[in-house]
C-alpha cells in the first residue's frame, strides 16, 4: 500500500504575523505569504502549517478566536485565503490550518450567549462553576499564563475556566451542542479544500467534570522547569489530559477522514506519555508531537534515544518531530549556539530530517536563526509581560523573517513591524543565503532534496543503536533499505564503534565531518555520518 502523503512529509510552519507583510501595516498577511510560495517550494516542503488567521482581538495573537468561519481582514480576508489555497494546490503544496477548538476568545458570540445563562441557548457551552463562599475559585487549577485558571463573572455569578488568558474561556466539549459546533468548524474548512489541521492543545478538550484539584508535584521531584513557572508545580491530570479525551479525538478524526486524503495532528504539550492514547493507526489523531524535544536544552543523545525507545513500545504511533515552533526558544539558541551558529544549525537540521516522523520545521530554522532581541517596551507576548526581564516570553522566536539584508526591516515590511527585526537576522537574510553555496538555507534545500532519495528516511522505522554523552546512532530501515545514522552532538571529537555488517556505503548527506580510524568511525565536533548498511 502507498503511504499517505503526510507520512514522513516536510511541513513548513508559517507564523503569518511575522512572515511577510504585503501592505505596510507592519503585520504579516496572506498576500505576503502568497508572494513567498516560490521560496517555500524551493525549500522542498510538502505542506504549510498556517498558524491561526481567523478574526481575533489578538490578546494571544490569533490563538483567541472570535469567529471560526472567517479570515481576519488584517490577514487579507477570505478572498486572500482562497487565492492562497488555489496557488498552493497549483504548486502541489498542501495547506494545513491551525485550529484552536479547546477554547475561544471572550469576544466570540458563543461566549456572549453563554453569559446569558438559562436565559440564552448556550448556558453550558463553556465551563462554568459555582464560586466558593469566600468568592474564591472552585479549585486549584492554574492558568498556563500564570494565576488561577478561573475568573469570576458577575453576569452569571459564577467562575469560568480558562486554561490560558482570562479572555480565552474554555469551550465545554462535554456539552453536545458545543462539541457539534466545534466539529462543524472542521467540516467548514475541509469543504473549502484545506488538506488538514494542526489542533492546538489537543490534550485539553475535556476537563474533569467533578472539578477535582490537580495534585502537586512533590518538591523533591521538581526541577528547574517546575520552579520556573508556578503552573508546572501541578500534575495536569484534571484540568486536561484525561484518558477519555481520546474519545473526542476519535470523533475529530472521523470528521477529517470523512474527506479524502486529509490529515490531522495534534499538539500534546503536557503528559507526553499519553501520546500513545491520543494518536494511533486506528484511534485518536493520525499523528502528533509532544514537547520532549521542544523543552530540551541539553541536545543530549539520551533525550532522543529515550523518546524513540518509548515509541518502540507503541508502534501504532506515527509521530510528528520538531525542534522549534512559535512557542519555544529557537533551536540554535536553545541548544547553546547563541544568536548564530551555522554548524549547529546544519547538524540539527540533518538530525531533524533523519528522525522517524512527519517533519515540522518552523519558519527561519532553514536560515539558522537564533532568538531575536526584544526590548522591554517592545514586548507583545502576555507571557513576556508576566516575567520580563527574567524571561522574554515567546516574542524572540516570533520576530519577523528577514528577506532582504539591506532593505527596510530586512524586507519584511515597509512599515513599523509589530515586533522588531533583529540586526543579526538581517545579516542572515534569505537573499544573502541564496547566493552563498555554504549557507544554512542552501544546506537545508540540498538535504531535503537528498532525503527524498531514501525511502527509509521518509517512511522507515527506527532502531536506536547508541546514545552516550556524545554520540547518537540509530538505524532507519524499510524491508528494502537499511541506513546507519550517526551524530556527534558534542563540540569535541568522538568515535563510534561501527556495527559488524557486510558493507557500509557512505552518502553525501548532512554536514559530513567523519572518517574511519581510531577504532571505528571518527566524528568531528557536530559531525554526522549517514550510510547504507549491506
- Domain of 150, CATH number, reads 3.90.400.10
Q: What is the pLDDT of residue 67?
A: 98
Confidence of residue 356 (pLDDT cuts 50, 70, 90): very high
**317 and 234 both lie in a single domain:** yes
Q: What is the span of the domain harbouring residue 393?
A: 10-105+175-451
Residues in the chain: 534
Choosing from 46, 60, 195, 200, which is the catalytic residue?
200
Is residue 513 left, alpha or beta, with left meaning phi > 0 and alpha meaning psi from -120 to 50? left
Last residue of a domain, one of 451, 472, 503: 451
Calculate what percentage of the chain has a pLDDT beyond 90.
93
Q: What is the pLDDT of residue 393?
A: 94
Q: Is residue 29 annotated as a catalytic residue, yes or no?
A: no
**335 and 376 both lie in a single domain:** yes
Q: What is the pLDDT of residue 384?
A: 93
Q: Does 222 fall in a domain?
A: yes
Q: Is residue 270 annotated as a catalytic residue, yes or no?
A: yes
**250 and 299 both lie in a single domain:** yes
Q: Does 169 fall in a domain?
A: no
Cell of 440: 544554512
**469 and 354 both lie in a single domain:** no
Last residue of a domain, one of 399, 428, 451: 451
The 10 Å Cβ neighbour count of residue 219 is 9
Max intra-chain CA distance, the chain? 79
Residue 502 in this model has a pLDDT that exceeds 70: no
Q: Is 133 helix (H, G, I), strand (E, B) or coil?
A: coil
pLDDT digits (tens, 9 = 90+) for 252-309: 999 999 999 999 999 999 999 999 999 999 999 999 999 999 999 999 999 999 999 9
**126 and 195 both lie in a single domain:** no
Residue 519 in this model has a pLDDT that exceeds 80: no
What sign does the dihedral 458-462-466-467 (CA atoms) show? positive
Q: Please, what is the angle between helix 440-451 and helix 342-354, to 10°?
A: 20
Tell me the pLDDT of the chain averaged across its residues.
96
**151 and 299 both lie in a single domain:** no
Residue 501 in this model has a pLDDT that exceeds 70: no
Report the relative pairing of strands 482-488 and 471-477 from DSSP bridges: antiparallel
- Domain of 89, CATH number, reads 3.20.20.80
Q: Does 147 fall in a domain?
A: yes
What domain count does the chain have? Answer: 3
Region 435-452 average pLDDT: 97
**113 and 250 both lie in a single domain:** no
pLDDT digits (tens, 9 = 90+) for 376-424: 999 999 999 988 888 889 999 999 999 999 999 999 999 999 999 999 9
**179 and 263 both lie in a single domain:** yes
**418 and 290 both lie in a single domain:** yes
Q: Does 42 fall in a domain?
A: yes
Last residue of a domain, one of 412, 430, 451: 451
Calculate what percentage of the chain has a pLDDT beyond 70.
99
- Domain of 493, CATH number, reads 2.60.40.1180
DSSP-assigned letter for residue 377: G
Long-range contacts of 385-392 (CB under 8 A, 24+ apart): 386/145, 386/146, 391/228
Q: Where are the alpha helices (DSSP H) in 355-476?
A: 382-387, 423-427, 430-434, 440-451, 455-458
Choosing from 98, 270, 381, 422, which is the catalytic residue?
270
pLDDT digits (tens, 9 = 90+) for 190-222: 999 999 999 999 999 999 999 999 999 999 999
CB 35 within 8 A of CB 383: no
Q: Where are the alpha helices (DSSP H) in 327-477?
A: 331-332, 342-354, 382-387, 423-427, 430-434, 440-451, 455-458
**340 and 380 both lie in a single domain:** yes
Q: What is the pLDDT of residue 52?
A: 98
- From the number of C-beta atoms within 10 Å of its C-beta (0-12, 13-18, 19+), residue 478 rates as middle
Amino acid at each position: 500500500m502507498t503511504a499517505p502523503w503526510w507520512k514522513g512529509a516536510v511541513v513548513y510552519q508559517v507564523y503569518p504575523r511575522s512572515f511577510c507583510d504585503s501592505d505596510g501595516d507592519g503585520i504579516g498577511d496572506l498576500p505576503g505569504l502568497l508572494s513567498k510560495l516560490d521560496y517555500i517550494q524551493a525549500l522542498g516542503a510538502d505542506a504549510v502549517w498556517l498558524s491561526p488567521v481567523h478574526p481575533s482581538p489578538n490578546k494571544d495573537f490569533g490563538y483567541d478566536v472570535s469567529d471560526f468561519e472567517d479570515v481576519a481582514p488584517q490577514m487579507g480576508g477570505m478572498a486572500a485565503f482562497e487565492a492562497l489555497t488555489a496557488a498552493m494546490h497549483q504548486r502541489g503544496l498542501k495547506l494545513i490550518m491551525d485550529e484552536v477548538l479547546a477554547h475561544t476568545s471572550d469576544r466570540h458570540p458563543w461566549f456572549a450567549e453563554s453569559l446569558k445563562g438559562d436565559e440564552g441557548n448556550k448556558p453550558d457551552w463553556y465551563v462554568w462553576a459555582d464560586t466558593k463562599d469566600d468568592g474564591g475559585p472552585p479549585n486549584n487549577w492554574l492558568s498556563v499564563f500564570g494565576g488561577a485558571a478561573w475568573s469570576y463573572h458577575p453576569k452569571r455569578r459564577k467562575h469560568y475556566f480558562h486554561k490560558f488568558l482570562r479572555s480565552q474561556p474554555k469551550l465545554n466539549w462535554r456539552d453536545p451542542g458545543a462539541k457539534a459546533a466545534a466539529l462543524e468548524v472542521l467540516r467548514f474548512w475541509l469543504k473549502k479544500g484545506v488538506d488538514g489541521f494542526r489542533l492546538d492543545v489537543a490534550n485539553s478538550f475535556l476537563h474533569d467534570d467533578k472539578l477535582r484539584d490537580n495534585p502537586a508535584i512533590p518538591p523533591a521531584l521538581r526541577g528547574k522547569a517546575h520552579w520556573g513557572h508556578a503552573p508546572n508545580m501541578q500534575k495536569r491530570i484534571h484540568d486536561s489530559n484525561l484518558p477519555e479525551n481520546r474519545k473526542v479525538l476519535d470523533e475529530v478524526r472521523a470528521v477529517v477522514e470523512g474527506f479524502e486524503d486529509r490529515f490531522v495532528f495534534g499538539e500534546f504539550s503536557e503528559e507526553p506519555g499519553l501520546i500513545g492514547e491520543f494518536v494511533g493507526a486506528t484511534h485518536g489523531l493520525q499523528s502528533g508531537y509532544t514537547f520532549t524535544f521542544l523543552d530540551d536544552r541539553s541536545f543530549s543523545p539520551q533525550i532522543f534515544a529515550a523518546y524513540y525507545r518509548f515509541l518502540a513500545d507503541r508502534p501504532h504511533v506515527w509521530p510528528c518531530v520538531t525542534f522549534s515552533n512559535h512557542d519555544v526558544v529557537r533551536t540554535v539558541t536553545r541548544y547553546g549556539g547563541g544568536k548564530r551558529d551555522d554548524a549547529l544549525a546544519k547538524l540539527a537540521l540533518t538530525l531533524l530530517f533523519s528522525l522517524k516522523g512527519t517533519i515540522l520545521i518552523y519558519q527561519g530554522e532553514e536560515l539558522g536563526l537564533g532568538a531575536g532581541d526584544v526590548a522591554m517596551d517592545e514586548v507583545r507576548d502576555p507571557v513576556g509581560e508576566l516575567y520580563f526581564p527574567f524571561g522574554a516570553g515567546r516574542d524572540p522566536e516570533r520576530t519577523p523573517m528577514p528577506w532582504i539584508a539591506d532593505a527596510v526591516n530586512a524586507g519584511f515590511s515597509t512599515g513599523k513591524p509589530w515586533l522588531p527585526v533583529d540586526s543579526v537576522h538581517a545579516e542572515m537574510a534569505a537573499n544573502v543565503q541564496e547566493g552563498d553555496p555554504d549557507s544554512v538555507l542552501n544546506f537545508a534545500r540540498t538535504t531535503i532534496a537528498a532525503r527524498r532519495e531514501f525511502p527509509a528516511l521518509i517512511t522507515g522505522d527506527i532502531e536506536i543503536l547508541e546514545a552516550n554523552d556524545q554520540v547518537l546512532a540509530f538505524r532507519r530501515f524499510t524491508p528494502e533499505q537499511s541506513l546507519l545514522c550517526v551524530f556527534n552532538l558534542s563540540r569535541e571529537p568522538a568515535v563510534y564503534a561501527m556495527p559488524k555488517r557486510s558493507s557500509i556505503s557512505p552518502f553525501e548527506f548532512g554536514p559530513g565531518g567523519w572518517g574511519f580510524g581510531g577504532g571505528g568511525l571518527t566524528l568531528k565536533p557536530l559531525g554526522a555520518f549517514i550510510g547504507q548498511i549491506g
